[in-house]
Amino acid sequence: MGQEIATTEFSDADEKEFRRRLLAETNILNRWFKQERFEVPESPMCGLELEGWLTDSDFVPAPESEAFLEQVDDELVVPEISRFNFELNSIPAPIRATVFSDLNRSLSALWKGCTRKAESMGLRAIAIGSLPTIRANMLTLEHIYPSKRYFALNNRIMKLRRNMPTVLSLEGKEVLRVSHPDIMLEAAATSVQVHLQVALAEGKRFFNASTIASPIMAAVAANSPFLYGKALWSETRIPIFEQAVNLGSFRNLDGSVAKRVSLGNGYVRESLLELFLENLDGYPVLLPDNYDRTPDELSHLRLHNGTIWRWNRPLVGIADDGTPHLRIEHRVPSSGPSMPDVVANAAFFLGLATYLARMPEVPEDRLTFAAVKRNFFQACKYGLNAEVEWIDGKIWNLQTLVRSELVGPVEEALEELGVDQDDIYKYITRIIRPRMMTGQNGSNWQRAFINTHGPNFQRLLETYYQYQKQDIPVHEWKSEAQFS
């Protein structure tokens, strides 16, 4: 959900004071980088956030998250921007031993609890990148979650846009062009965010590695081929979110306008500090809420950073004893299809980022940021069928690249991190590898189902829901309806 705020209305004086505090806290962060003050974890730490949907028994979106969250009553299950959505959080854990089995066990237990509670209310809880039954007339401010943060974000973004509507324009298998009068289109895109704690010395390499890995992850984890009944991109969720919060900022050296939601504006050159300096100078403040807290808590810096949605976002955490740490939040994977798939996607990302970050030959010296950006949109549009440029200078079919060149190094990287062989086998060898052999990720399964049965999205979701409840990985799902 992000930090809650105290008000939805701000004055020019509020904004001026916020900017003053933001500058002071950025200077503190600058000093911490020079002092190398950040925690160095004994083992890299990871965690994740999983966004979900609520529907009624006919799989039509149900704006019931307030009542649902009250019934669930778990601090790890929190609101999202719309009353159709909610979010699960994992407890951070070191990447070693049985980390992924432990994560799968805890995540599945939490999700099953949410599923049972939803069913007791006549609802369905579904993890999917975009819900095929959502329609534009449902994404209204009437269904925004009653949080000051969300109301203020809408007000401020629309003010900066001079109340011009959001125009969503996508050409995939079909064409979709719609306008939307507020930011609620953002609620149509639900994701998994993987958190990786990094040491200061490895921050640059891991951030750039996460950027290079982003096109791969967009295709491997794709699960949002439909919006408003239209067949669009393999990972439609990415352009939905980029266009839902379409706010221009500064201009890059190539003349392009930096966006609020994007893959970023280039590789990190020296340290993650560069991104916080970019935040300070390049992006208008959306939530100038001034906290009565000590500057060392970096409350204003972290609030501002939380309103700049890079697909790989740098985070600063502060421990109870005041010790800061650095994390990378990888926001590319789609939500779902099953909990084992979610964990396998997280494991694959963590292994891939580690492999790329610790290569003797620096991959960002061999693959330009412009090429990664092209790869990213090719992967979002065409999924596993995308043609991408890789660090060897060759053009690859993405599915072939992952299957023949990346799965093995990912397995080796996870082993070097201390992950047990059984965990690597369970989530990479037995889920990611066969997914790459069959080519069946969430998006391709959904498309195959609709190709078989016609545009019956309720039936699609009913079958999807039953597979998801049974924790069956998506590469084993059948296109024919197995449940009735």
Q: CATH number of the domain that 415 lies in?
A: 3.30.590
If you ran DSSP here, which 8-state letter would residue 165 be given?
P
HSE toward the beta carbon, residue 115, CA cutoff 13 A: 17
- Dihedrals φ, ψ of 176, to 5°? -130, 125
Give the integer Cα–Cα distance in Å for 305 and 25. Answer: 12
State the chain's mean pLDDT as an integer: 95
Quickly count: other Cβ atoms within 10 Å of residue 256's Cβ. 12
- Tens digit of each residue's pLDDT (9 = 90 or more) over 301-357: 999 999 999 999 999 999 999 999 999 999 999 999 999 999 999 999 999 999 999
Pairing of strands 45-56, 123-126: antiparallel
Give the integer Cα–Cα distance in Å for 100 and 109. Answer: 14
- Dihedrals φ, ψ of 125, to 5°? -105, 125
Quickly count: other Cβ atoms within 10 Å of residue 298's Cβ. 25
What three-state secondary structure class fits 55?
A: strand
Residue at 163 is within a domain: yes
pTM: 0.97
CB 263 within 8 A of CB 368: no
Is residue 1 scored above 70 in pLDDT? no
Is residue 483 scored above 70 in pLDDT? no
Please report which confidence band the pLDDT of residue 249 belongs to, taking 50, 70 and 90 as the band edges.
low
Query: 431-470 as b/e, with b when 16 or more CB fall inside 10 Å?
Result: bbbebbeeebbbbbbbbebbeeeeeebebbbbbbbebbbe
Segments forming the whole domain that contains residue 182: 12-44+141-470
Q: Which of 118, 121, 120 is nearest to 88 (CA)?
A: 118
Residue 255 is predicted with a pLDDT of 66
Residue at 76 is within a domain: no
Quickly count: other Cβ atoms within 10 Å of residue 245's Cβ. 20
Please report which confidence band the pLDDT of residue 253 belongs to, taking 50, 70 and 90 as the band edges.
low
If you ran DSSP here, which 8-state letter would residue 420 be given?
-
Encoding tokens for residue 226?
């439909």
Please, what sign has the CA dihedral across residues 188, 191, 197, 202? negative
Give the integer Cα–Cα distance in Å for 107 and 113. Answer: 10
Residue 439 is predicted with a pLDDT of 98
Residue 297 is predicted with a pLDDT of 96
Give the integer Cα–Cα distance in Å for 155 and 54. Answer: 25
Cis peptide before 337 (omega within 30 of 0): yes
Is residue 484 scored above 60 in pLDDT? no
Residue 480 is predicted with a pLDDT of 67
- Tens digit of each residue's pLDDT (9 = 90 or more) over 16-58: 999 999 999 999 999 999 999 999 988 899 999 999 999 999 9
Residue 265 is predicted with a pLDDT of 92
- Tens digit of each residue's pLDDT (9 = 90 or more) over 142-188: 999 999 999 999 999 999 888 888 889 999 999 999 999 999 999 99
Encoding tokens for residue 111?
């999700």
CB 41 within 8 A of CB 199: yes
- Tens digit of each residue's pLDDT (9 = 90 or more) over 454-482: 999 999 999 999 999 999 999 999 976 56
Mean predicted confidence (pLDDT) in 70-94: 97
Give the integer Cα–Cα distance in Å for 250 and 258. Answer: 6
Let me know how long the chain is: 484
- Tens digit of each residue's pLDDT (9 = 90 or more) over 187-236: 999 999 999 999 999 999 999 999 999 999 999 999 999 999 999 999 99
Residue at 355 is within a domain: yes
Residue with tokens 């409840």: 469
Please report which confidence band the pLDDT of residue 279 belongs to, taking 50, 70 and 90 as the band edges.
very high
Residue 41 is predicted with a pLDDT of 86
Please, what sign has the CA dihedral across residues 342, 344, 345, 346? positive
Residue at 247 is within a domain: yes
Structural domain count, the chain = 1
Residue 112 is predicted with a pLDDT of 97
- Tens digit of each residue's pLDDT (9 = 90 or more) over 432-460: 999 999 999 999 999 999 999 999 999 99
Give the integer Cα–Cα distance in Å for 169 and 136. Answer: 14
